[in-house]
Amino acid sequence: MKHDVLVLGAGMVGTCTALHLQQRGHAVTLVERRTPGRETSYGNAGIIQREAVEPYPFPQDWPHLWSAALKQSADVNYHWGALPGLLRPLSAYWAHSRPRRHALISRAYARLIAHSTSGHQPFIEAAGAQALVQRQGYLQVFRQTSTWRQAAERAQRLAQVEGLNHQVWDGEALATAEPALRRRLAGAVHWQDPWSVSNPGALVALYATLFQQRGGRVVQGDAQTLGATSAGWRVQTADGPVEAGQAVVALGPWSDGLIRTLGYRYPLFVKRGYHQHYVGGPVPSMPVLDADVGYVLAPMQRGVRLTTGAEFATLEAPPTPVQVAKAHARASELLDLSTPVEPQPWMGARPCTADMLPVIGPAPRHRGLWFNFGHAHQGFTLGPISGHVLADLIDGVAPVVDPAPYAPARFA
Ligand SMILES: Cc1cc2nc3c(=O)[nH]c(=O)nc-3n(C[C@H](O)[C@H](O)[C@H](O)COP(=O)(O)OP(=O)(O)OC[C@H]3O[C@@H](n4cnc5c(N)ncnc54)[C@H](O)[C@@H]3O)c2cc1C
């Protein structure tokens, strides 16, 4: 029997979940408090990261930890006031990042990432979004020869195990391939499989339009009003209360706030991130991760988008874009970034779990309630495959990927 489903949250994850459920014949209502694709899925670096087969671990080496603790680097910032609340999830994150455990987690992560570009492809085509998508990969560039060599070895290992395509470039090859970079660097790894999107929010908006064209409903409403009924779930919307037999929580970083009201205390936290666009200077041909410093420069419709690393803070705390200033100073060594587009940087929050794996599956203690959140650094990449897995689970068919590692019950 086909159920009606409420999907709460129209970021990349919720919108793709709605599309997958709809494809199987469900009547789906997508509930969003703003418009689709205006939050985290709007402001990211836009890379569909087919190469990201290992999730970001918590650093295990002392030099890294010290530099983060002393706020010396551009890639990490934190708010002192947030630390007590972060103690539990971050210590679990640290434990899960130990090499053996991280290797096991990466095996589960890689199984999802394997479906990243192939998962997006049919939606890109059906939504007419081809013009937003570039397929020439992305570059990790290195300032130091030692880190470049290490990265080249790691790339070689991952390429062999996971069947990824890459090239290793020395400084000269990089300068030839990317003349926009005005400083000579040690070298680069060119990952050839990833795709990049020149307006990530617009891609989500096009997916949401496709969902509507196929008969789906997008309504404005507040997911925090979710309540159980005798037959399922109800949420208040601008069109009045909407009820369905099943509900999916796909609220990205806001998921924790809702599931706490239902009694779930999961080790979730956010890594906030910022972006700012710049115009006027030469533009690289593909996104560039300045790996030794820790920021990305991505060519976008609005200009070159500089995105920052992780800020450990509460979701609600006011913005503190110190990392934009630090990254901008170092990025200006590579590109002319003298003309910012916005007066203030954009801020968003990566929805993270302590074990670096997303939460996809049935809510352990509530019938007809499903979770799909916690995609951290790669939710833009993983939206379609996560939606696919969840739709398989709701339909009770064998999931395209073994869902056990992502089961919400692991935290219950
Ligand atoms: C700086 C930065 C760079 C990144 N770069 C990349 C990258 O290159 N590639 C990649 O794959 N990932 C990247 N990410 C991560 C990625 O952006 C996220 O993992 C992803 O966007 C999460 O998608 P989501 O749908 O879960 O959440 P969101 O996109 O945040 O969607 C959640 C939705 O829920 C809605 N909502 C919230 N509360 C309510 C409510 N009460 N009622 C109704 N609706 C509500 C919000 O309005 C929002 O639309 C980056 C993140 C950042 C911050």
- Which protein residue's CA is at the shortest distance from atom 3 of ligand 1? 44
Q: Is the CB of 251 under 6 A from ligand 1?
A: yes
pLDDT band at 412 (very low <50, low <70, confident <90, very high): confident
Query: Which residues touch 257 (CB under 8 Å, ≥6 apart)?
Result: 224, 251, 315
pTM: 0.98
- Which protein residue's CA is at the shortest distance from atom 20 of ligand 1? 379
**Tens-digit pLDDT profile for residues 133-144:** 999 999 999 999
Number of H helices, E strands in the chain: 12, 23
How far, CA to CA in Å, does 227 sit from each of 223, 230, 233, 242, 369?
9, 10, 6, 11, 11
Atom of ligand 1 nearest to the CA of 377: 15
Q: Is the CB of 93 under 6 A from ligand 1?
A: no
Return the C-alpha torsion angle 237, 243, 248, 250, nearest 10.
Answer: 0
Say what percent of the chain tops pLDDT 90: 97
Q: Is the CB of 73 under 6 A from ligand 1?
A: no
51 token code pair:
């190469």
**Tens-digit pLDDT profile for residues 326-359:** 999 999 999 999 999 999 999 999 999 999 999 9
- Which protein residue's CA is at the shortest distance from atom 30 of ligand 1? 40
**Tens-digit pLDDT profile for residues 212-263:** 999 999 999 999 999 999 999 999 999 999 999 999 999 999 999 999 999 9
Q: What's the pLDDT at 3?
A: 64
Q: What pairs with residue 311 in β-bridges?
A: 77, 272
Distance in angstroms (rounded) separating the CA atoms of residues 224 and 56: 30
Distance in angstroms (rounded) separating the CA atoms of residues 223 and 86: 25
Q: What is the C-alpha R_g of the chain?
A: 21
Q: Is the CB of 10 under 6 A from ligand 1?
A: yes
